């Protein structure tokens, strides 16, 4: 990997982290196109640069992150993903991260599920205040989010659909999903970084920094875009995008294998 590739992957991460199209899936597929080998460093790179996008949430929503009621709900929602991710960490790193076929299948079937869900779902008239989310709703959102340990599922899609199913307003669950990314991705990145960082060279730390900074800058714009988008549109366009992208890369993966 060179600095150009690191910046490109950082931009892709920043654009896709908060959209229901799977940032990890896009990073894996983009790495395949760029011809980047799935080394241990690269797998860690794909996880750690997500912290750049998460920093954009902290900058945008720092006031909410100081609200004790919001923090308690985030912790309740984080627990299912944290436990499942910790238990399955080695399996995920060894067999799922970097697996193009898993990503393509998850993008395709996730796209279909997103379209069907939007066609059948009727939005609730609940409160838009995140601090009024019940602990039960928060826990269920966390359970839905845990499905996103499968690359290509999309953490944002899983948590947003889960929130809509348990009766939250669209704008409410989108913002809660942004905030829930902070403990979720901080824990995932921190665990991986502590396990692998001692083996990195100074040049590899430079590549991580390049990806981190580009992801942060682009994610600031992506957050604003999604908030405006959900006020007027459903997620059906994202479902269609997932299916089309999966189809294109399915042909690509078949050619490789």
Summarize pLDDT for 202-243 with one digit per residue, the tens. 788 889 899 999 999 999 999 888 888 888 888 999 999 999
**Rounded distance, CA 109 to CA 96, Å?**
17
Higher pLDDT residue, 251 or 19? 19
Q: Which domain holds residue 222?
A: 3-256
pLDDT at residue 71, as a whole number = 92
Measured CA to CA, the distance from residue 153 to residue 130 in angstroms comes to: 24
Query: Is residue 18 predicted with pLDDT exceeding 70?
Result: yes
Mean pLDDT (whole number) for 110-135: 86
Residue 95, pLDDT score: 66
- Residues 50 and 54: their CA atoms lie apart, in Å, by 6
pLDDT for the residue numbered 98: 64
- pLDDT of amino acid 243: 94
Per residue in 71-93, pLDDT (tens digit) is: 999 999 999 888 887 787 677 76
Calculate the average pLDDT of the chain: 85
Mean pLDDT, residues 24-47: 81
Query: Sorting pLDDT into bands at 50, 70 and 90, what band is 8?
Result: very high
Nearest 5°: CA angle at 188, between 146 and 64?
80
CB–CB of 3/206 below 8 Å? Answer: yes
Question: What's the whole-number mean pLDDT along residues 9-19?
Answer: 90
Confirm if 191 and 149 have CB atoms less than 8 A apart. Answer: no
Range with the lowest mean pLDDT among 13-17, 94-98, 164-168? 94-98
Give the per-residue pLDDT at 89: 67
Cβ proximity of 159 and 130 under 8 Å: no
Residue 180 burial by Cβ neighbours in a 10 Å radius (0-12, 13-18, 19+): buried
95-106 pLDDT, tens digit per residue, is 676 677 888 888
Vertex 241 angle, CA 239 and 245, to 5°: 120
Q: Using only the alpha carbons of the chain, give its radius of gyration.
A: 17
d(CA 171, CA 189): 27
DSSP summary character for residue 199: G
* Domains contained in the chain, number: 1
Q: Are 114 and 153 in contact (CB under 8 A)?
A: no
Contact between 126 and 168 under an 8 Å Cβ cutoff? The reply is: yes
What number is the average pLDDT over the span 5-15? 92
């Amino acid at each position: 990997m060179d600095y150009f590739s690191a910046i490109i992957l950082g931009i892709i991460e920043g654009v896709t982290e908060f959209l229901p199209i799977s940032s990890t899936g896009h990073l894996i597929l983009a790495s395949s196109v760029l011809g980047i080998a799935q080394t241990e460093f690269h797998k860690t790179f794909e996880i750690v640069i997500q912290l750049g996008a998460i920093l954009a949430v902290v900058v945008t929503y720092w006031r909410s992150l100081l609200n004790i009621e919001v923090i308690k709900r985030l912790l309740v929602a984080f627990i299912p993903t944290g436990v499942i991710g910790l238990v399955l960490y080695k399996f995920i790193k060894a067999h799922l991260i970097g697996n193009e076929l898993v990503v393509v299948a998850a993008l395709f079937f996730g796209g279909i599920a997103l379209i069907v869900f939007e066609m059948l779902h009727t939005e609730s008239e609940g409160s838009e205040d995140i601090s009024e989310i019940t602990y039960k709703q928060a826990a269920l959102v966390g359970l839905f989010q845990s499905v996103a340990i499968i690359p290509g599922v999309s953490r944002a899609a899983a948590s947003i659909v889960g929130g809509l199913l348990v009766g939250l307003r669209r704008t409410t669950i989108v913002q809660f999903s942004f905030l829930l990314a902070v403990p979720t991705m901080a824990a995932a990145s921190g665990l991986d970084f502590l396990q692998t960082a001692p083996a990195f060279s100074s040049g590899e730390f430079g590549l991580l920094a390049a990806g981190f900074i580009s992801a942060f800058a682009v994610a600031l714009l992506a957050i604003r875009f999604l908030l405006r988008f959900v006020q007027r549109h459903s997620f059906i366009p994202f479902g269609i995008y997932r299916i089309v992208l999966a189809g294109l890369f399915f042909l690509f993966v078949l050619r490789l294998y």
